Amino acid sequence: MIKIGVLTSSRSDFGVYLPLLNRMKADEEISFSIIAFGTHISKFHGNTVDEILEQGFEVQYKLPTLLTDDSEEGISSSTALCALKFSSFWATYKDRFDFVFCLGDRFEMFAAVSAGVPFGIKFVHFCGGDVSLGAIDNVYRDCLTRFSSIHFPTTTTCAERVNKLKNEDEPVKAVGLLSLDDIDNLELLTLEEFKDKWGIDLAIPSILVTFHPETIGSEKNIKYSQVIYETLLELGEDYQLIVTMPNADTEGYLFREIFYQIKSLLPEKVILIENFGRTSYFTCMKYSRLLIGNSSSGISEAASFNKYAINIGSRQKGRETGPNTFNVDFDTAEILALAVKVLRDPVFEGENIYRKAGGVDEIIKTIKHLILNG
């Protein structure tokens, strides 16, 4: 029996893991344990560990690792706290896992994995090789690549970056973005089901909004949040705005505050959501006219639902983008002009560069091969 630990610190990485977790759950040769921490165990961020349970999984380990303070010192302290909690965790449980999965680039994931390095744990890293120059996540991602011994990047370009970082003889292969692996068979909600569940009528012309602060040059976030405030107030005159709230990032409170302000001014047009869960989020994406924000989701997932994405600012600067993505600076007039242009013909008909058929099968095959061959 192959024993795997799965590190998940947020709603975003769990949603990406989900097709792989479902496949492993049905595999009699694999046993896995979910290790939930970070915003999963934070009431302030929606206590998203509940979504893991709702998807039919057990959570074998829960580690509260996050402080509510999202200042630079607060994020640094949360990183230290997370590493401290995991140093004890790995000391106790390191022998229970053949491999431990880690995903992405969050500071919490960096802390959990870095604490495991002295114990010789075999980490398997997903989504390495990406670039996001406007976020400190860029540094954490490369560190996670170096900490890990097995790699499953999303695109060929990302795989090339991982190969350069690792400088190993055996090149890694791209497997695509895991969250897209099963979308052909994913049963999304109908408009009626979505309205019954969330009280949101997606028949109303809607824009899906996801913003996070830029964590490099964070002193500019006050200016950036004001741009978003002005932009969304204008768009809210004609469209329903469905806003997924920021993760735990430096100065995330600035964007939370402006979203609450916009909600107070346009109470019937603005909806704030802490956590949709994967199925509801993809349903909302499917029926929205456009995605606006600076989340990697618009860049990597929206094309699979025939949607354009407007990516604002430098948070995702350097990340590989497809033809569905338009990049623009934090400038209200430029954003609005671009939104008007895109909304005239909002259906994207091209391919998604982040989707690769058979990625989950390739991952499971590789893990089994490594166990059998030592």
Would you say residue 248 has pLDDT above 70?
no
Tokens of 108: 């919490």
171 pLDDT band, cuts 50/70/90, is confident
Global pTM reads 0.90
Average pLDDT over residues 275-285: 94
Percent of the chain's residues with pLDDT above 70: 97
pLDDT of residue 141: 96
What is each CA distance from 253 to 23, 223, 258, in whole angstroms? 37, 14, 9
Q: What is the sign of the dihedral through the CA atoms of 254, 245, 21 and 364?
A: negative
Cα 340 from Cα 301, distance rounded (Å):
22
Q: What's the pLDDT tens digit per position in 35-86?
A: 999 989 877 766 788 889 999 999 999 999 988 777 888 889 999 999 999 9
Single-letter residue type at 363: I
Q: Locate tokens 């005239």: which residue?
A: 344
Evaluate whether 60 touches 68 at the Cβ level (below 8 Å).
no
Q: How many residues would you count in the chain?
A: 374
Identify the bridge partners of residue 345 per DSSP, sorted by sequence position. none
3-state per-residue secondary structure call for the chain: CEEEEEEECCHHHHHHHHHHHHHHHCCCCEEEEEEEEHHHHCHHHCCCHHHHHHCCCCCCEEECCCCCCCCHHHHHHHHHHHHHHHHHHHHHHHHHCCEEEEECCCHHHHHHHHHHHHHCCCEEEECCCCCCCCCCHHHHHHHHHHHCCEEECCCHHHHHHHHHHHCCCCCCCCCCCHHHCCCCCCCCCCHHHHHHHHCCCCCCCEEEEECCCCCCCHHHHHHHHHHHHHHHHHHCCCCEEEEECCCCCCCHHHHHHHHHHHHHHCCCCEEEECCCCHHHHHHHHHHCCEEEECCHHHHHCHHHHCECEEEECCCCCCCCCCCCEEEECCCHHHHHHHHHHHHCCCECCCCCCCCCCCHHHHHHHHHHHHHHCC
Per-residue pLDDT, 96? 96
Domains and CATH numbers, the chain: 2-179+358-372 (3.40.50.2000), 191-343 (3.40.50.2000)
